Amino acid sequence: MASVEFKNVTKSFGNFHAVSDVNFDIGDGEFVCLLGPSGCGKTTSLRMMAGLETPTSGQIFIGGQEVTHLHPKDRNIAMVFQDYALYPHMNLADNIAYPLKVRGEPVDKRHARAREVADVLKIGHLMDRLPSQISGGQQQRTSLARALVYPAKVYLFDEPLSNLDAKLRLEARGFLNHLQRDMGMTAVYVTHDQAEAMALATRIAVMDQGKIVQYASPIEIYRRPATTFVANFVGNPPMNLVEVEGAQADGRLALKAEGLGIGALPMTDAIGKALATSNRLTLGVRPEHLSLAGAGAQNTIVAPLFANENMGPESLVTLDRGEGARVTARIFTDDHLDVSDTVTLGFSAEHVHLFDSAGNRIPAVGE
């Protein structure tokens, strides 16, 4: 196990900067998720750690040793590929034992070790099969077994669950979480699925357009998203963002928007600074912090109903505020929810997030 460090790493393809001037470090035994939409540079970053891509500039360290230009085979890392990259002409035993074969281990020894790992992953009974003769979930576990069969400094995962169906994905996710608890491995995990990142990571690096927007623990990212991009990316469904007009009144902050009724908020220096630039702010409220409110509620959003989706333990109630701006509430009830054509959603002031006109978070009182 070892730490990983990126120092001013940039990777350009022609004029396109896939990764631009990225700095971050991963501690020994940490499970870090690189999270972001496709094309944000997360896979390129991972491939640079593996040595499958070379940075245009900057340095990469693994376990304190510079590896920027080192060949993958000399880095002592393990990687699970999105397409699993299982060798179709080898049976599972040979596939899993391949890293040991190239290390010169004798055949009975490496097959015994492969069997050991396979048993943990519950594919031990399939060792004679070819990859084409097992299911997708089993293929995924085989590629995982191949990565775990030898002691590596860092384990890299390139969207390993994205080819699985929803049920298998949940199962595999839980298993990976368990494995991380068991082994305490240093792992870097690339995904575009925020739920996967939240469930697995000790820290999440949210990436957008080749840059890291926020690098923090899942809870921190959920509670205090650094930008509207992060707020809009994390959460299921993501945070509701409402464009508002802010103004100072009697030493407090008053927010104005169509259909929005909100009591004045305490004023801070940070808000004052944001208002000095522009009075256009963004108000954020998570769907789970919205509730169906009566007329007496203090903070409300009123708009026509767009959709009412019953999911079993909860219902998603979506309002249409016009011009594609929608607000979704997660209402926790397993009853059928009867809502009128115009809905009033209520929320409490402590759940309000504020962002300035550039989309950056304005720290709340006490942050």
Binding segment for another protein among 84-92, 228-236, 317-325, 353-361 (CB under 8 A)? 84-92
Q: Which of residues 125-184 bind another protein (CB under 8 A)?
A: 146, 150, 156
Please count the residues of this chain forming the interface with another protein, following the rule CB under 8 A: 26
Among 103, 167, 181, 336, binds another protein (CB under 8 A): 103
Tokens encoding 328? 């979704």
- Between strands 342-347 and 299-310, the pairing is antiparallel
Tokens encoding 105? 């281990």
Tokens encoding 344? 């009033």
CB of 35 to another protein, least distance (A): 22
- Between strands 187-191 and 154-158, the pairing is parallel
Binding segment for another protein among 55-63, 74-82, 230-238, 348-356 (CB under 8 A)? 74-82
Q: Which residue, 19 or 97, is less far from another protein as judged by CB?
A: 97
Q: Which residue, 153 or 173, is less far from another protein as judged by CB?
A: 153
CB of 141 to another protein, least distance (A): 15
- Do residues 257 and 244 make contact, with C-beta atoms less than 8 angstroms apart? yes
77-80 sheet: strands from edge to edge: 77-80, 154-158, 187-191, 31-35, 203-208, 211-216
- Do residues 220 and 350 make contact, with C-beta atoms less than 8 angstroms apart? no
Among 21, 27, 28, 101, binds another protein (CB under 8 A): 101
Q: Which residue, 97 or 293, is less far from another protein as judged by CB?
A: 97
Among 72, 237, 238, 359, binds another protein (CB under 8 A): 72
Q: Contact between 76 and another protein (CB under 8 A)?
A: yes
CB of 89 to another protein, least distance (A): 5
- Do residues 320 and 304 make contact, with C-beta atoms less than 8 angstroms apart? yes
Q: Which residues contact 279 (CB under 8 A, 6 or more apart)?
A: 245, 246, 247
Q: Contact between 99 and another protein (CB under 8 A)?
A: yes
Residue 5 Cα distances to 10, 87, 186, angstroms: 13, 32, 12
Residue with tokens 């070790």: 113
- N-to-C CA span, the chain: 34
Q: Contact between 88 and another protein (CB under 8 A)?
A: yes
Q: Contact between 113 and another protein (CB under 8 A)?
A: no
- Do residues 315 and 331 make contact, with C-beta atoms less than 8 angstroms apart? yes
Binding segment for another protein among 35-43, 70-78, 179-187, 288-296 (CB under 8 A)? 70-78
Binding segment for another protein among 49-57, 208-216, 255-263, 287-295 (CB under 8 A)? 49-57
Tokens encoding 324? 């594609």
Tokens encoding 135? 């299911």
Q: Contact between 14 and another protein (CB under 8 A)?
A: no
CB of 215 to another protein, least distance (A): 25
- Do residues 366 and 223 make contact, with C-beta atoms less than 8 angstroms apart? no
Q: Contact between 51 and another protein (CB under 8 A)?
A: yes
- Do residues 239 and 286 make contact, with C-beta atoms less than 8 angstroms apart? yes
Q: Which residue, 100 or 234, is less far from another protein as judged by CB?
A: 100
Among 8, 25, 66, 85, binds another protein (CB under 8 A): 85
Q: Contact between 64 and another protein (CB under 8 A)?
A: no
Q: Contact between 77 and another protein (CB under 8 A)?
A: yes
Q: Label residues 255-276 b or e (16+ Cβ within 10 Å = b).
A: bebebbbbeebebbebbeebbe
Q: Which residues bind another protein (CB under 8 A)?
A: 50-52, 71-73, 75-79, 81-83, 85, 87-89, 98-99, 101-103, 146, 150, 156
